[in-house]
């Protein structure tokens, strides 16, 4: 198991800026035990959108998440990270999935995200 201090060191060693750095934490067998998303000094409630965009296919569960970007914020950010305008091309399958955090109404978050996507899509072709 990798401790918090070692995880921060791995993010720093990745060479990516601390904000939005995504680093894999190795397990004892050389596989991936977990992923860490560096936030830097950011207080962005939708920081996890970056993870949804970049993580490989799989099902993910939140570990330690700061309060400002956990719970419902995390679930909505994850969905927002997977948004794409697909009116003129086939919509790709979502490959990185998030287990709904405890205490979050997944159906409500899905409805909110779908309405945001509808508004975005309407704006995409409003000038046509």
Same-domain pairing of 8 and 49: no
Same-domain pairing of 1 and 34: yes
The DSSP-derived string for 16-81 is S-SEEEEEEEE-TTSSEEEEEEEETT---TTTTHHHHHHSPSEEE---S--GGGSHHHHHHHHHHH
Structure tokens at 47: 């920081």
How many domains does one find in the chain?
A: 2
CA angle 16, 17, 18 (to 5 degrees): 110
Same-domain pairing of 30 and 88: no
Same-domain pairing of 122 and 66: yes
Same-domain pairing of 18 and 50: no
Structure tokens at 48: 């996890």
Same-domain pairing of 65 and 123: yes
Structure tokens at 74: 């995390």
Q: What is the pLDDT of residue 44?
A: 80
Same-domain pairing of 3 and 37: yes
Same-domain pairing of 36 and 50: no
- Structure confidence by residue, pLDDT tens digits, 36-52: 887 777 788 778 888 88
Residue 54's domain comprises 43-128
Q: What is the pLDDT of residue 115?
A: 81
Same-domain pairing of 69 and 58: yes
Same-domain pairing of 26 and 68: no
**CB 62, CB 54: distance < 8 Å:** no
Instruction: Please tell me what DSSP assigns to residue 96.
Output: E
- Structure confidence by residue, pLDDT tens digits, 12-69: 555 555 566 777 888 889 888 888 887 777 788 778 888 888 888 889 998 888 888 8
Output the CA–CA distances (angstroms, integers) from residue 115 to 76, 110, 122, 126, in the order listed: 12, 9, 11, 16
| 103 pLDDT above the threshold of 90 | yes
Same-domain pairing of 50 and 95: yes
């Amino acid at each position: 198991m990798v401790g918090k201090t070692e995880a921060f060191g791995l993010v720093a060693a990745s060479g990516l800026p601390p904000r939005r750095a995504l680093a894999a934490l190795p397990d004892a067998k050389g596989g991936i035990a977990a992923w860490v998303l560096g936030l830097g000094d950011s207080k962005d409630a939708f920081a996890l959108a970056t993870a949804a965009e970049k993580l490989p296919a799989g099902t993910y569960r939140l570990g330690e998440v700061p309060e400002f970007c956990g719970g419902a914020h995390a679930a909505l950010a994850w969905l927002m990270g997977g948004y794409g305008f697909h009116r003129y091309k086939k919509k790709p399958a979502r490959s990185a999935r998030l287990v709904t955090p405890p205490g979050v109404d997944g159906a409500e978050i899905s409805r909110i995200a779908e309405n945001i996507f509808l508004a975005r899509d309407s704006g995409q072709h409003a000038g046509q």
